[in-house]
Amino acid sequence: MTTQKLPTYFLSHGGGPWPFMMDQVGHLYGKLDASLRDIPRQIGVTPKAVLVITAHWEGRDFMLSSSAKPPMIYDYGGFPPHTYQVQYSAPGSPELAAQVQQLLQAGGHAAVLDAERGFDHGTFSAMYPVYPNADVPIVQLSLKYGLDPQTHLEVGRLLAPLREQGVLIVGSGLSYHNLRAFNAAGAAASHAFDDWLRQTMALPAQQRSAQLMKWDEAPAARMAHPREEHLLPLMVVLGAAENDDASVPYHEDAFMGALAVSSFRFGQAAA
């Protein structure tokens, strides 16, 4: 067990299986790739495990992947054939899944173990650049139907003790996610919302949480997130590090040529 309190991360994970297509899309993803590959340096230690709150899994209750050897889920369409064969063979951690279940249940939130759930692209596309050797165990935590921001913030608070136990808590989503305007048509909205989001993350802790709970009143909020599943992982990782300062380890003003997207870290990088 480590005494170092690990930071938490909200990662804008990009589109589909992009890390496995760098020959084709590297010019679009170079900055995101570099930011993800820098995370091991930022935290300074190899975590015992990673808990990924993924935008690509929802349940009536919170769900946890509990397989020791999670399979793959190719939850995307229209990509090259080889991307439906890629493997990210990181182990799971049934022990961590059970511990998270206990933490959530003790806090009044039902949580269910799922031994069949595999890694979705929100997990393996984000984690492959961070740990390309797939040698750090990963457990996925779902969102809960209804996508209530306060509920997800509260769950994050319950997860906070894991940070002092060697567990890296990562929320995998996108700070802008409107697939019907994932180009120049979304430029104005993505910039307006991303500006608000970065300003909000810079506020004092109590004010920051209160503002984020009213995210749908932000400029262009519903244009940026017609459905908010790609934003909700941010609520969880903020809750787990609610009193820590935020920083922006990744930001682009012209992602896919036009969009503003950001990732956030809560807590300090290693010296």
Domain ranges for the chain? 8-266
| CA 254 – CA 68 distance, rounded (Å) | 39
Whole-number Cα distances in Å, 68 to 71, 92, 111, 171: 10, 4, 18, 21
- At residue 25, the pLDDT reads 87
Q: CA-to-CA distance for 218 and 224, rounded, in angstroms?
A: 10
- pLDDT attached to residue 271: 66
Question: Which CA distances in Å does 211 have to 2, 191, 198?
Answer: 33, 18, 12
CA distance 250 to 239: 20
And the tokens for 6? 């690990």
The predicted structure's pLDDT at residue 2 = 46
CATH number 3.20.20.70 is the correct assignment for the domain at 8-266: no
Is residue 30 left, alpha or beta, with left meaning phi > 0 and alpha meaning psi from -120 to 50? alpha
Length of the chain: 271
Provide the residue-wise pLDDT of the chain in tens; the chain has 271 residues: 446 899 999 999 999 999 999 998 888 999 999 999 999 999 999 999 999 999 999 999 999 999 999 999 999 999 999 999 999 999 999 999 999 999 999 999 999 999 999 999 999 999 999 999 999 999 999 999 999 999 999 999 999 999 999 999 999 999 999 988 888 899 999 999 999 999 999 999 999 999 999 999 999 999 999 999 999 999 999 999 999 999 999 999 999 989 999 999 999 988 6
